[in-house]
Amino acid sequence: MDPMTFSIIRHRLFRIVDEAVITLKHVSGSAITNEGHDLMVSLYRADGTLLMGGVGFLHHLTSAAEACKSIIRRFEGDIHEGDIFLLNDPYTAALHTSDIYLVSPIHHEGRLVAWSACFVHVYDIGAVNPGGFAPQAPDIYTEGFSSPGIRLVAGGEMRQDVLDTILNMVRSPEMVTLDLRSMIACNNVARDRMQSLMTKYGAKEVDGACAELVNQSEDLFRARLRELPDGQWQSRQYLDVNGETARVNLTMTKKDDRLIFDFSGSDPQSPYSINCTKWASLGGLFAPLFPLLCYDITWNEGVLRPVEMIAPEGSIVNCTRPAPVSVATVGAIQSVNNAACSTIGKMLGASEKYRNQSTAVWHANHFAIFKFGRNQKGGDSIGILTETFAGAGGARSFADGVEIGGEIPNPISRMANVETVEAAFPVRYLFRRRAPDSGGPGEYRGGTGGELALVPHKAPDGGINYVISGKGSRHPMSEGLAGGYPGAPNSYVWVKAPEDGANTPVTAAGGLDAISGTQERVSWGVYPLMGRDALYVRWNGGGGHGDPIVRDPEAVRSDVAAGLVTLQSAGDIYGVALRDGAVDETETMAKRKSIRSARLQQEASE
Amino acid sequence: MAGTGETSYLVATDVGGTCTDTVIFGTDGVIHIGKALSTPPDFATGVLNSIVSAAEPMGLTLEELLGRTHLFIHGSTVVDNAVLTRDGTPTGLLTTQGFEDTLHVTRGAYGRWSGLTEERIKNPVQTDRAPALAPRDAVVGIPERMDCDGAVVLPLDEAAVEQAVRFLVNEKQVGAIAVSFLWSFLNADHERRVRDIINRVAPGAYVTLSSDIAPNLGEYERTSTAVINAYAGQITNDYLTSLQGLLAEKGYDGATMVMQGYGGLLPAAEAADRAVGMIECGPAAGVIGAKFLGDLMGDPDVIAADMGGTTFKVGVIQDGKLEYAREPMVDRFHYLAPKIEVVSIGAGGGSIISVDPRTKVPHVGPRSAGARPGPICYGQGGEEPTLTDVMLLIGYMDPGQFLNGSITLDREKTERIFKEKIADPLGMSTQEAAIGIYRIASAQITDLIREITVERGLDPRDFVLHSFGGSCGMLAAAFGQELSVRRVIIPYTASVNCAFGLVSADVAHEYSVTQNLPATTSAAQINAIFAPMEERARAQLAAEGIEPDRMRMEWSVDLRYSRQVHEVTTEVAANTPLDDAGAARLVDDFEALYERKYGRGSAYREAGIEMTMFRLTARGLMPRPTLPAEEEGSADASAALIGNREIYVETKGGMAPGDIYDFNRLQPGNSLKGPAVIHTPITTIALPDRMTARMDRWRNIVVEFDAD
């Protein structure tokens, strides 16, 4: 086709997705959608295959394609102009029940020509715990409302009985209404713009451009794969929850222009809701694949074609009904993200040309903490601790990771200001800052994660409660690369005030240990933050890249001066000796030599 | 005409990235225009050159002109430049202990991706934050703490402050100190006491308090603002002082007013203390200029598009009102200050055309040949085809008519390189390929403007499009038609629009109070918030010599639905101070505005409505110069017809004969039909088929789409 028209249509498809995202954020107005950018909008072709993926939570791009396909199968012959379908069953296509897909057919001159799909993390889904993550759910039945596909809008008219039924099952139905309205508005914009694109250029021309766009992505991706070395790379992720540890095992094989992700050897599904279904795993591995390998290729079906996934049934990465999955997006899916990031990073690192594109694992583990309770103004407050979106960058082959720099699967997130949180919740921060020794050591250091401490403040009920799905406090998950160490694990500590009646702390410059009281680890369930107690959270840093004992000693010195690396780690891990704030070169050389020979002896003895 | 003893002048000079423009209004009603190259970092030289270039044709020396000048209005990129080139004062930061990293971690990934194009955001491995203007080792945490009500939780440790100041000044050698504590916008006591200590311990240091410069909720943005202001403060101060000194030396003894990013003027002495206020004041002035023309022509809804060599800028005026940016940035740093929203992308005449070797898909930009080496056709060493070269190839530019014939365009070389680099790889003829590139550029601008208007809940079909800048006239009618705007106007003052905006601005001060109150708050309580602001504003304006009858107090309130993030600044339409009906109307107006902006069904009344910020804009009205209007004469434009040549005509699907007109020979009332091209001294206006262009009584070119 004419390259000019192709170029114009391609650009317009991008803008259609942008406009739909803007609409979604406008109408929704919720913090998680607008600040956390926990959303996704994409366009699909008439057969439900991915046409144009937007910059949202990337693990949804492929599972929303499956959502379109399953709606096509389920409603065959009964799909009409102006319909909008709702789907949130994880065993059909969704990631977990609270991430609702709304899927819209797009018709032009009476013919089904394309689909649009979007999701937001709705305010509530009626699970046993509020907010969507349900650590106390033993199975899918207690994780709230779920549908394998239901018509919410018929021919442009809302089906009020269906809407009322859904709203009858959730907390804060008004907020959920707004979430649903935002998705409807978003799909409407996508549909209108697609229709006018087809009116201007012709449905056949547009579909031809779409087909070419998909083929082009496939060709480009296969060409890139052929440039990369053949081989097999492995990664193991350990996901600990409430004292138990589950393993995700990945072997990635690259041959010619194909990639196979094999999760054989992963643990059986867990009794905890960290499991994920196979569509979720597929989405999980594409989340790092798109930005690491296809940063300059349009994200569509063409990128999917060269990729195959093997996920054993009944395992944590392909669980079977009725295993609970509400924590999947920050559980097994994230482990799949991490493992795929690692194996892809190893492959890229083996290529001279693409070495600079490899990265150690970024922010490998969300801590999902939902606070809820009456605030200082007497109103209800409920919301996620947005520091979980703050993340940390993995180290790269040429530079340190970005401190508190976000995560790969969600390219544009941000956290709320301390003042914003303190204005809405009856809490006060003692500190919020980068956490020392959290970035994985390496020639290039992983970006640090952060730490914070909260105390109740002016709370009418003496404090608040929170739901925590806290995993990964025993095993580090931000894997290092090329000899780099992993980033530090998460840590969740309930500091119980001493009995003697000391006041609520006002400051704690020294960190966790400067808060008086007894420390108790928490990770899974619903807990109080009451009275004079404090909650301390440390989130993981990024993995390191390369051997820490070849890191420039000056960089280590500067990290120590900035409080990002402790003096002890500088000596023990980086082999750098500091004297009066300066590098002692002779002693550093000696230290590094002894670390090296200790390693050799260790290998000899093994 | 000019030059008699009676005439006195208003001189307005805008320093832009490339050129420094001057507009002079005489009391005799005549407008004079001057232009010179900008001279960073010593901008004052360019300012004087620009004024001289306007004075010369008037037959006046600089001294003669300045001796008769009653007001000098100025806009400058000095602050933007100090930040972009990292040329400011070494700066330290004092902040609340426990939160020392706030500036550097930028609310998480926010600072890593903000300001980047979508292409770059899609490759996170290659992204980093810009290093902060205050290095981390020049940040010191101070024991002190306020809470969410501004109540003291931990008293200020003055000894620690003194020690920190000595450390910053002696060890870190900073010359400027920003102070930003949590919740200081509710209780500034601690920050003010720190300022006293700095003044005592380090009297030479430049100090900015976050509670002074950005008294708003959100410690990251407030801290960043204070740091930018401290960093650029001294330079701005020095610049304005030396410029006023130079003007005084040349005989000027009037006041100097300085343009702010929110589109209002401040006396130079005040502007010098608020460096962040001057950021992007040029583009803001451009929007003010467009608004002035819109008001004059009876068009309250205007899309102002400005396309020069490297950037394409869009501002939107709706119902005669300007929109403020929600998250303003300079370089890649966020700040909080009222600033007119102007969206800028890297697309201009210098945008380089390329063909992706892997896919054979042509691209326009994002790289630019800039002013040097520039397009191939300029013959200044450019070897890569640009959008300007395409304009030559499709007949919109005349090799002999460019910039009044001052440069002869090299068509032969342009064709040769374009064929080799673009047409051949695409397997097309040179002309086909050039036409295709033009279509792509026009479609991409259409997409951009549509996205900008959608973001504001607006429909481009309700708007008039103003086209400014050297490259915009060749595309404006084409993308204007695709957007279905009401009409396209290429203003007479298009080449010096920003300087023109300066003379149509008022003195304006912005005040705000952050306070969270329910929408049911009584009128009396709201009035009590505004009263002290008004009192301050009136005293301020009086001190600037503004008579009470020229003072205007404009109230507005930010409202939002509870548990929602979108805040909407809603103008108080009722008489102030408010009565209860007026307060109720404010809430109604908010709801209507919210639905218009965020779409039908977006309102969530059930959760209640809150007021979050109370804003006062205090205006001192400036005498508005009148644009001389002429009688519209005959429609016959044949006296300006200078030729006919092959140009790209979309309806013909290729090249076809088009009439060529000389702008300077057109008279008000003249009307002409496309396909045609009008050459002006600074730009070219392409008029597609089935459109009519008319010169109006202010010599603006007005393009209308013919009815089908």
Q: Give the largest Cα separation in chain B, rounded.
A: 82
What strand order describes the sheet that includes B641-649? Answer: B641-649, B654-662, B676-679, B684-687
Tokens standing for A421? 């949180």
* Average pLDDT score over residue span A554-573: 96
Whether B122 sits inside 8 A of A411 (CB atoms) is yes
Binding-face residues of A in 414-473 toward B, CB within 8 A: 414-420, 422-423, 428-434, 450, 457-458
CA distance A408 to chain B (A): 7
Burial (CB count within 10 angstroms: exposed 0-12, middle 13-18, buried 19+), residue A95: buried
CA distance B424 to chain A (A): 13
Whole-number pLDDT of residue B708: 67
Q: What is the pLDDT of residues A498-520, one digit of tens each?
A: 887 777 888 898 899 999 999 99
User: Which of these three, B199, B232, B265, is where a domain ends?
Assistant: B232
Binding-face residues of B in 108-147 toward A, CB within 8 A: 108-110, 112-113, 118-119, 121-129, 136-137, 141, 143, 145, 147
Residues B571 and B692 in one domain: no
User: Could you give the C-alpha distances from B108 to A95, A258, B119, in angstroms and in order?
Assistant: 25, 36, 20
Residues B226 and B254 in one domain: no
Nearest to A419 among B101, B219, B450 (CB): B219
Residue B491 domain-assigned (yes or no): yes
E strand spans, B440-550: 464-468, 487-490, 507-518
Residues B424 and B364 in one domain: yes
Whole-number pLDDT of residue B1: 39
Residues B220 and B72 in one domain: no
Nearest to A413 among B109, B122, B455 (CB): B109
Dihedrals φ, ψ of A107, to 5°? -105, 150
Tell me chain A's radius of gyration from C-alpha atoms.
25
Residues B110 and B205 in one domain: yes
Residues B429 and B549 in one domain: no
A496–B contact, CB cutoff 8 A: no
State the count of interchain CB pairs (< 8 A) between A and B: 234
d(CA B611, CA B81): 37
Whether B444 sits inside 8 A of A11 (CB atoms) is yes
Mutant choice from A120, A292, A354, A412 vs B, greatest count of B C-beta within 10 A = A412
Closest CA in chain A for residue B153:
A506
The CATH number of the domain where B586 resides is what? 3.30.1490
User: Which of these three, B440, B466, B488, is where a domain ends?
Assistant: B440
Binding-face residues of B in 329-388 toward A, CB within 8 A: 358-363
A390–B contact, CB cutoff 8 A: yes
Residues B612 and B674 in one domain: no
Binding-face residues of B in 641-700 toward A, CB within 8 A: none
Closest CA to B548 of B535, B566, B567, B529: B535
d(CA B182, CA B150): 9
d(CA A163, CA A171): 14
Whether B516 sits inside 8 A of A423 (CB atoms) is yes
Residue A543 has pLDDT above 90, yes or no: yes
The complex's ipTM?
0.94
Q: Which residues of chain B have pLDDT under 50?
A: 1-4
Nearest to A291 among B122, B221, B361 (CB): B122
Residue B651 domain-assigned (yes or no): yes
Tokens standing for A203? 């449905």
Residues B20 and B116 in one domain: no
Residue B627 domain-assigned (yes or no): no
Whether B109 sits inside 8 A of A406 (CB atoms) is yes
User: Could you give the C-alpha distances from A565 to A31, A493, A590, B569, in angstroms and in order?
Assistant: 33, 21, 20, 45
Residues B109 and B137 in one domain: yes
Closest CA in chain A for residue B100:
A433
A6–B contact, CB cutoff 8 A: yes
Residue A45 has pLDDT above 60, yes or no: yes
Burial (CB count within 10 angstroms: exposed 0-12, middle 13-18, buried 19+), residue A68: buried
Cβ contacts of B109 on chain A, cutoff 8 Å: 389-391, 402, 404-407, 411-414
Residue B413 domain-assigned (yes or no): yes
Residues B606 and B515 in one domain: yes
Whole-number pLDDT of residue B526: 96
Residue B429 domain-assigned (yes or no): yes
Closest CA in chain A for residue B183:
A419
Residues B41 and B96 in one domain: no
Burial (CB count within 10 angstroms: exposed 0-12, middle 13-18, buried 19+), residue A603: exposed
Tokens standing for B311? 């950037």
Whole-number pLDDT of residue A606: 55
Whole-number pLDDT of residue A226: 98
Q: How far apart are the first and last CA of chain A?
A: 63
Nearest to A7 among B128, B362, B597 (CB): B362
Asked if residues B505 and B263 have their Cβ atoms less than 8 Å apart, the reply is: yes
B456–A contact, CB cutoff 8 A: no
Whether A12 sits inside 8 A of B447 (CB atoms) is yes
d(CA B627, CA B613): 38
Q: Quick one: pLDDT band at residue A529, thresholds 50, 70, 90?
A: very high
Closest CA in chain B for residue A13:
B447
Closest CA to A27 of A163, A152, A146, A188: A188
A2–B contact, CB cutoff 8 A: yes
d(CA B31, CA B456): 35
Q: What is the pLDDT of residues B656-677, one digit of tens each?
A: 999 999 999 999 999 999 999 9
Q: Could you write out the DSSP letters of every residue in A271-299? A: SSTT---HHHHHHHHHHHHHHHH-TTS--
B574: amino acid identity, one letter: A
Whether A417 sits inside 8 A of B219 (CB atoms) is yes
d(CA A558, CA A573): 15
Which residues are B313's β-sheet partners? Answer: B306, B344
Q: C-alpha angle with apex A55: B330 to A32, nearest 5 degrees?
A: 80
CA distance B600 to chain A (A): 8
Look-up: residue for tokens 């009222």? Answer: B338
Residue B497 domain-assigned (yes or no): yes
Q: CB within 8 A of A501, min separation 6: which ones?
A: none
Residues B467 and B517 in one domain: no
Mutant choice from A419, A430, A438 vs B, greatest count of B C-beta within 10 A = A419
Look-up: residue for tokens 């301050």? Answer: B536
Whether B604 sits inside 8 A of A175 (CB atoms) is yes
Beta-strand relationship, B654-662 and B362-368: unpaired
A296–B contact, CB cutoff 8 A: yes
Nearest to B148 among A403, A422, A506 (CB): A422
Burial (CB count within 10 angstroms: exposed 0-12, middle 13-18, buried 19+), residue B61: middle
User: What is the pTM assigned to this prediction?
Assistant: 0.93
Binding-face residues of B in 262-301 toward A, CB within 8 A: none
Cβ contacts of A216 on chain B, cutoff 8 Å: 359, 361
CA distance A310 to chain B (A): 27
CA distance B93 to chain A (A): 15
* Number of C-beta neighbours around residue B385 at 10 A: 30
User: Which of these three, B417, B440, B463, is where a domain ends?
Assistant: B440
Whether A413 sits inside 8 A of B98 (CB atoms) is no
Q: What is the DSSP letter of B403?
A: G
Tokens standing for A460? 């009418």
Q: CB within 8 A of A561, min separation 6: which ones?
A: A581, B137
B183–A contact, CB cutoff 8 A: yes
d(CA A27, CA A22): 9
Range of the domain at B225: 88-232
Tell me chain B's radius of gyration from C-alpha atoms.
27
Closest CA to B309 of B356, B367, B354, B355: B367
Structural domain count of chain B: 6
Residue B629 domain-assigned (yes or no): no
- Percent of chain A past pLDDT 70, that is, above it, reads 99
Handedness of CA B372, B375, B377, B383 (dihedral sign): positive
Closest CA to A434 of A415, A453, A448, A416: A448
Asked if residues B453 and B459 have their Cβ atoms less than 8 Å apart, the reply is: yes
Whether A55 sits inside 8 A of B122 (CB atoms) is yes
Tokens standing for B120? 């770059």
Asked if residues A428 and B147 have their Cβ atoms less than 8 Å apart, the reply is: yes
Whether B361 sits inside 8 A of A7 (CB atoms) is yes
Cβ contacts of A399 on chain B, cutoff 8 Å: 128
Q: What is the pLDDT of residues A177-189, one digit of tens each?
A: 889 989 999 999 8
Closest CA to B591 of B568, B615, B614, B616: B568
d(CA B247, CA B256): 10
Closest CA to B588 of B548, B620, B557: B557
d(CA A284, CA A105): 25
* Number of C-beta neighbours around residue B498 at 10 A: 28
Residue B630 domain-assigned (yes or no): no
The CATH number of the domain where B116 resides is what? 3.40.50
Nearest to B359 among A55, A220, A358 (CB): A220
A158–B contact, CB cutoff 8 A: no
Asked if residues A310 and A260 have their Cβ atoms less than 8 Å apart, the reply is: yes
Handedness of CA B331, A418, B98, A488 (dihedral sign): negative
Least confident of A1-5, A467-471, B435-439: A1-5
Length of chain A: 606
The CATH number of the domain where B318 resides is what? 3.30.420.40
A218: amino acid identity, one letter: E
Which residues are B34's β-sheet partners? Answer: B22
